[in-house]
Structure 1
Amino acid sequence: MLRSVLVVDDEPHIRRVLRGYLEADGYNVTEVGTGTEALTLIESRSPDLVLLDVRLPDIDGFEVLRRIRQFSDVYVVLVTARAEEVDKLVGLAVGADDYITKPFAPREVAARVRAVLRRARGAPDAPSRVSISGLTVDPDTREVTVDSTPVELSALEFDLLLAMARSPGRVYSRRQLLEKVWDGDFYGDERVVDVHIRSIRRALGDDAADPRFIGTVRGVGYKFVATSGADR
């Protein structure tokens, strides 16, 4: 079955160009020009990935993304002409899986789409579940619990947590985490990892100053600190 991509942009020319490149890559592409149309279509058709422009004529793309996350875990790549770091980080903090800035090369967009969708396939030979110190991460069901209480994470947050939990005690640099999650196809700022780690900690009820699960190694990156009671 073809993977489906929804392109949301108010500029018809950009939609046509992206559609052409993505269809050439073998995707089933639908395009809309407003946030309202996008929300309706995502609810009714459940695409595999959404390319979401930030500047839309009716609803700001960040608000569209927040509304998407109320009912869907679909992969979302933000497209923005506002290149300031704060916009990129705010976008990722509300649940985007990646971002790309205008002007862009259509081939780069297609590469980002491939990289994000490739993460959904997972690692076929990896252990099915990780359970450590009250935290359970199940890649088969994409569910996380802390002390038997369900935890809501975005798709990217889940992948980052699983990557660290599978190797407790190992220190990962930001680049190493990006390579594990994006399969080496990440083009943006490595500091996006910091945003996702903060979001994961918040969801897990973890304290950066006294971590139960994720520790910071200054000048290097992050590690999963829980090492006892593992069953994999």
Structure 2
Amino acid sequence: MKTILIIEDEQTISRVLAVYLKHEGYDVVQAFDGLEGLHAFTANQPNLVLLDVMLPGMDGWDVLKEIRKTSPCPVIMLTALGDIDYRLKGLNQGADDYISKPFVGEEVVARVNAVLRRPSNVLDSDHTKQFGSLKINLDSHVVSIGGEPVVLTPKDLNLLFFLAERPNRTFTREDLIENIWGMDYDGSDRAVDLSVKRIRQSLSAWPSSQGEIRTLRGLGYQFSVYEK
């Protein structure tokens, strides 16, 4: 049984979400402030986190940053802030989805199901690829540069693996959404740009002389490998 961690200070909302998720067959853990949420995350190692932005003490942005330091666990942000800038901020910091309040329980359950069933076939290979100092283990799902581990969100990891298995080939945003986000994804293709941006930041220690993720204007993205 998969575990969902709800970090939401409004107990009524948290209880309603818990009822819907339990009815769907999930195990549910609840926390009501940011610090408590981080403790619950460490203790329970959930499969997905529903994270409110406006939390007492440590807000959702800081909780997300702490989670991303050590884990690629999927995170869906919950907030009453519907402005596009807030949504982009969440996605840019590593959130996997974003739901604006007010929402209905069925919508949240649908989003949770969609995130958890996003394609993972890219992660099921059993070999390692080496591009200079960049090492990608497609079996253990570990990425490292010069022996130092690189932490990526699940979809960023999927995107990197997809591109790395097909070096020097160009893919449009539509190609990448279909293969990484899945056919049921109904968000903006800007998610691809944000994911590539995060991957580039995470791979900043990888020498550009060895390779890079290139943007080909009007065409798409390419994992380019340079041979000496």
User: Under TM normalisation by the shorter chain, which class is it?
Assistant: 0.7 to 0.9
Go from structure 1 to structure 2 and tell me whether the alpha carbon gap of 1:210 and 1:227 turns closer, same or farther (over 3 Å shift): closer
What per-residue deviation string (whole Å, max 9, x for no partner) do you get for residues 107-138 of structure 1?
2321221222224x822895323525323322
**Equivalent residue for 2:151?**
152
Cα contact 2:123–2:138 (8 A) shared by 1: no
**Equivalent residue for 1:18?**
17
Alpha-carbon shift at residue 195 of structure 1 (Å): 1.6
Cα contact 1:112–1:185 (8 A) shared by 2: no
Cα contact 1:164–1:224 (8 A) shared by 2: yes
AA of the residue aligned to 1:131: K
> What SS does the aligned partner of 1:73 have?
coil
**Equivalent residue for 2:101?**
102
Alpha-carbon shift at residue 150 of structure 1 (Å): 3.2
Superposition pairs of residues 16-55 of structure 1, within 5 angstroms? 16-55=15-54
C-alpha RMSD over aligned residues: 2.7
The answer to whether 1:133 aligns with 2:131 is: yes
TM-score normalised by length of structure 1: 0.84
AA of the residue aligned to 1:83: G
Cα contact 2:72–2:151 (8 A) shared by 1: no
Per mean C-alpha deviation after superposition, the further-off stretch among 188-197 and 144-153 is 144-153
Go from structure 1 to structure 2 and tell me whether the alpha carbon gap of 1:133 and 1:70 turns closer, same or farther (over 3 Å shift): closer
> What SS does the aligned partner of 2:54 have?
coil
Superposed structure 1 runs of 4+ greater than 4 Å apart: none
Go from structure 1 to structure 2 and tell me whether the alpha carbon gap of 1:57 and 1:147 turns closer, same or farther (over 3 Å shift): closer
**Equivalent residue for 1:181?**
180
AA of the residue aligned to 2:14: R
Provide the C-alpha distance between the structure 2 equivalents of 1:228 and 1:105, rounded to a whole number of angstroms. Answer: 53
Superposition pairs of residues 42-121 of structure 1, within 5 angstroms? 42-119=41-118
Alpha-carbon shift at residue 158 of structure 1 (Å): 1.0
Provide the C-alpha distance between the structure 2 equivalents of 1:188 and 1:105, rounded to a whole number of angstroms. Answer: 18
Per mean C-alpha deviation after superposition, the further-off stretch among 195-204 and 104-113 is 104-113
Go from structure 1 to structure 2 and tell me whether the alpha carbon gap of 1:151 and 1:68 turns closer, same or farther (over 3 Å shift): closer
Cα contact 1:112–1:186 (8 A) shared by 2: no
What per-residue deviation string (whole Å, max 9, x for no partner) do you get for residues 50-91 of structure 1?
100111123211011112223433221111222222212222
Go from structure 1 to structure 2 and tell me whether the alpha carbon gap of 1:173 and 1:101 turns closer, same or farther (over 3 Å shift): farther
**Equivalent residue for 1:165?**
164
Go from structure 1 to structure 2 and tell me whether the alpha carbon gap of 1:218 and 1:43 turns closer, same or farther (over 3 Å shift): same
Alpha-carbon shift at residue 39 of structure 1 (Å): 1.0
Alpha-carbon shift at residue 228 of structure 1 (Å): 6.2
> What SS does the aligned partner of 1:69 have?
helix
Alpha-carbon shift at residue 227 of structure 1 (Å): 7.4
In structure 2, the gaps of 5 or more residues are: none
Go from structure 1 to structure 2 and tell me whether the alpha carbon gap of 1:181 and 1:28 turns closer, same or farther (over 3 Å shift): same
Cα contact 2:122–2:161 (8 A) shared by 1: no
Provide the C-alpha distance between the structure 2 equivalents of 1:65 and 1:160, rounded to a whole number of angstroms. Answer: 20
What percent of counterpart residues are identical? 38
Cα contact 2:77–2:97 (8 A) shared by 1: yes
AA of the residue aligned to 2:138: P
AA of the residue aligned to 1:133: F
Paired residues in the alignment total: 226
Provide the C-alpha distance between the structure 1 equivalents of 2:138 and 2:110, rounded to a whole number of angstroms. Answer: 24
AA of the residue aligned to 2:125: P
Cα contact 1:19–1:29 (8 A) shared by 2: yes
